Structure 1
C-alpha cells in the first residue's frame, strides 16, 4: 500500500485533508522504507474550507493508487460531486483500498461501495446517511469501521484514528506508535473486539475509568478479573460494567482481552520472544490460549502474524 491518493473536491473540510496528508505524507526516519508516496488528486484548483488547493493530478489518477482517502464534505444535503463519486468507484474496482474520513462516507455510499457493509460517519450525519442509503448498516457510535478494502471513520479526531489504523495495518504497531508520538496523539484508542468496529472512548481523561485503564494496561501480565478492576475502581462489578459499556462500548473482560491481544501483537512484531513467553507476558497463561484468542480476534495465528510483519517492522526507541 505504498501509494496514497487524497481525493479532493470543492467544499471539503481542511482538517481531514490535513490529517491525512500529515500522517501519510511525512515519514519517520528508520520507521518504514519505503514510506508512502502521497498525491493530491482533484479537478484543478479546489476550495478546501477557506483555502484554495492546487491538486497534483486529476481524479483519473485515483485508479493508480494503492489507497484512496476521501476527506470530509462540508455539505451533505446535496449529492456529492459526480466526477468524484465515479473516480472513487473506478479506483476501488481497480483494486484500491478506499477510506473515507467523517462525511466522506457519503461519497463512498454514492459510489455503491458501502452497500451491504458496516459503516460510520460523524454522529450528527449518521441518520442522514442511513436514510439516504438504506443498504448501508450505519454505526453512529464507533470511531471507525474496517471492511478490508473499504473503511470509514467518524468525525474529526476519529479521522486520525483511522489513518493510524491504516499505518498499523501496513507497517505494524511499532511504526504506527512512532507516527503517533510524532503527532503527539494517542497511538490507539481503546475499543471493542469486533474486527469491523472499534468502539470510542472520550477525548478527555475525565471519565470514571480514566485512572483504571492505564493501571490495568500496566498489569496485563497478571490474571486480572472483573472483581480486581471493580475493587481498584472502588465500585461494584455491576457499576463497573455500566461504565465500561458507556466508555468503550464493551464489557470489562472483553476490553481486557482486547488489550492483551494488542500487547501480543506488539511483542510479536518487535521481539523474538516465543509464543509461550508472550502468552505469559500478556496474561494469557498458555500458548494454546493465546493462539485461540489471537486467531479468533485477528484472523491469523500468532506465528503467521509475526511472519507478516517480520520483514519490514523493527524495534523503535520511545
Structure 2
C-alpha cells in the first residue's frame, strides 16, 4: 500500500477528513521509519468544495487519481444520502480491481450505494445504525462496534473512531509496531479493539474512583500474571461487581476482553520484533501455552501466530 486517496464532496465534515489526513497524510516524520504515503485529496469537480461548518475547501485533483489508488477513503459529509454518481462509480471500480476502500460515519452510505456493503459486516455512528440497515437491507450492520474490516472494505463509527479504523487497517497491512508508532505520533492509544462498544457511559455521581487509568497501566506491566476480575478488582480496591460495572462504563468492554486484547497486541509485537518461540511468547504475554495463544490470536486477528510472523517479522524466527 503506497498510494492513498481521500474523496471529498460538498458538505464534507472537517473532523472526519482530518482524521484520515492524520493517519495517512503525514508527509514527513523523521523520528520514525514508518512508511510515507503518496496522499491526495480529490473530488468529482475540482475547485471549491462546500464544507459543513462554515469554511470551504479548494481541491485541485479530480477522480482520475482514484484509478491508481491502493486505498480509497471516503470523507464523511453532512448529507449522507446524497452522493455524486461519478464518485459512487469510481469507488465501485476501485473495489473491483482490488483496492482497499474505507469509510466511516456518514461516508458508509456511499459504500452502500456502490454495492460494497451487500453481504458484508459494517458499522457506522451509533445514531445511524438502524437507518443504514433500512437503506441497505443486504448489509450486516453492527452499529455497536468501533470498526469492521471485512475483506478489503473498512467501515468505522463516527468522529474519533475513524482514526481507530485507519490504525486497524495500518496494523493489518504493516504490523503492530507501525500502527503503534503512528498512534504515538498523533497522541492516540495504540489499539482500541473493533468490538469495543461505541457508546461508553459516563456515570453521574461517580465517587468510588476517579479513573481506572492507574489500574490499566499496572495491568499492562503484569500481563504475564493471572489477571482475573477478582484480582483486578482487589488492585482497584472495589468489589468484583462494582469493578466490572465501572470497567465497562469507562472502557466500553469487559475486563477479561480488555486483558485478552492487550495480550494479543503484545504478542503481535513480540512476533514481529523478537526471536522468542511461540511457546515463550505465550508465556510472556500471560496465555500460558501456545495452544491458548493460537486460539485467542486467531479469534482477534483471524490468522495464526506463525502466519503473522512470516508476514511481519524481519528476523529469522526460532520456532
TM-score range, shorter chain: 0.7 to 0.9
Aligned residue for 2:311?
A: 308
**Alpha-carbon shift at residue 251 of structure 1 (Å):** 3.5
Q: Is 1:179 matched up with 2:182?
A: yes
Query: Residues of 2 paired with 1:171 and 1:204: CA distance?
Result: 34
Unaligned runs of 5+ in 1: 313-318
1:69-100 deviations in whole A, cap 9, x for unaligned? 00111122x43222221211111112111110
Q: Quote the offset at 1:54 in angstroms.
A: 3.5
| Residue in 1 that maps onto 2:206 | none
The CA deviation string for residues 151-200 of structure 1, in whole angstroms up to 9 with x for no partner, is 111111111111222222222221222222221122222x3xxxx74434
- Correspondence list, 1:90-169, <5 A: 90-169=93-172
Residue 225 (structure 1) aligns with = 228
Equivalent residue number for residue 237 of structure 2: 234
3-state DSSP class of the match of 2:185? Answer: helix
- Specify every segment of 5 or more residues in structure 2 that has no aligned partner in the other structure, as ranges: 204-208
- Counterpart Cα distance in 2 of 1:260 and 1:207: 25
Residue 72 of structure 2 corresponds to 68
Q: How many residues align?
A: 306
For 1:79 and 1:311, the matched residues in 2 are separated by 46
Mark the CA change 1:54 to 1:179 in structure 2 (over 3 Å): closer, same or farther.
same
User: Please, what TM-score do these two structures have when normalized by structure 1?
Assistant: 0.86
Report the counterpart of residue 28 of structure 1 in structure 2: 29
Q: Which runs of 4+ in 1 moved over 6 A?
A: 203-207
RMSD: 2.6
From the superposition, tell whether residues 57 and 140 of structure 1 become closer, same or farther in structure 2 (CA, over 3 Å): same
Cα separation, 2, equivalents of 1:272 and 1:30: 25
Distance 2:210 2:117 in 1: 33
Change (3 A) 1:119 1:292: closer
Q: How far apart, in 1, do the equivalents of 2:249 and 2:131 lie?
A: 24
Q: Work out whether residues 176 and 187 of structure 1, in 8 Å CA contact, stay in contact via their aligned partners in 2.
A: yes
**Alpha carbons of 1:83 and 1:56: their partners in 2 closer, same or farther (altered >3 Å)?**
same
Alignment TM-score, normalising by the size of structure 2: 0.86
Partner of 1:44: 46
Greater relative CO (CA pairs within 8 A, separation 6+): 1
Q: Distance in 2 between matches of 1:304 and 1:284?
A: 18
- Aligned counterparts of 1:141 and 1:304: Cα–Cα separation in 2: 30
* CA–CA distance in structure 2, aligned partners of residues 284 and 39 of structure 1: 43
Pick from 270, 274, 283 the counterpart of residue 271 of structure 1. 274
